[in-house]
Amino acid sequence: MAFTVPLPRPPLEDGPAWWYENELGWATVDGPPVQLVTGLRFDVLELPVAAGGAVLRRMGAATGPVALQGRRMRLLVAAGSADELPGLLDWLEWGGISLDLAMLGAGGRMTAPIPPGRSGSGAPGAAVWLRAPEPGREVESSLPALRTAVRGGAAAPCLVRLVAAAAAECHRVRLLSARTRATGPASQQLTPQRFASS
């Protein structure tokens, strides 16, 4: 009986790094897990999932690609936005307020979500796309930017509006969390009956 050896298959063609590098032109760092290099083609605005969900409801498609990993949401924004965030927060009068809002810029990395249409590890907390970038389109022109650029008749979403919404939602989540901690269990809440005269 003759044995046949299958033809070799290109090892990286189906991997996430191949998709990001060849379909989108993004720089990657081999893993596991594969990392996307920030600050070159995009920066990342990172916030808690609860705040991020509210931002997505408020802004709709004006956010560009969005990834989720664990309890953090990552919104892709124009490269260079990380440098603008502190001044932008000050200008929006959020400076000095503790917000659970971070920006990954030059020299940063984010875990690469499994490319759309491909099966992943399914591990809890694995990075996934909520709104994936679209190959064949210049993704960068659709990312929120500080200066609104018009390309192909469509304006890029505004970074100022995105950061304002993100800061407001992060602050709201923080206040709700503090209020929940302060009130304690329902059995210890003050009620009018406790103060009724006997």
Q: For residues 64, 65, 70 and 73, what is the CA-based torsion angle, rounded to 10 degrees?
A: -10
Which pLDDT score, from 0 to 100, does residue 44 have?
A: 96
The answer for 9, left when phi > 0, alpha when psi is -120 to 50, beta otherwise, is beta
Which pLDDT score, from 0 to 100, does residue 6 have?
A: 43
The parent domain of residue 91 ranges over 16-172
Does residue 41 fall inside a structural domain? yes
Does residue 183 fall inside a structural domain? no
Which pLDDT score, from 0 to 100, does residue 30 have?
A: 86
Three-state DSSP class for residue 76: strand
pLDDT tens sequence across 6-36: 444 344 456 778 889 988 889 999 878 899 9
φ, ψ of residue 82 in degrees (nearest 5): -60, -35
**pLDDT-based confidence at residue 194 (cuts at 50, 70, 90):** very low
Give how many domains the chain has, as a whole number. Answer: 1
pLDDT tens sequence across 65-108: 999 999 999 999 999 999 999 999 999 999 888 899 999 999 99
Q: Are strands 66-69 and 128-131 parallel, antiparallel or unpaired?
A: antiparallel
Closest CA to 161 of 58, 38, 41, 82: 58
Does residue 195 fall inside a structural domain? no
Closest CA to 113 of 26, 183, 7: 26
Does residue 9 fall inside a structural domain? no
Does residue 142 fall inside a structural domain? yes
Q: Which residues contact 198 (CB under 8 A, 6 or more apart)?
A: none
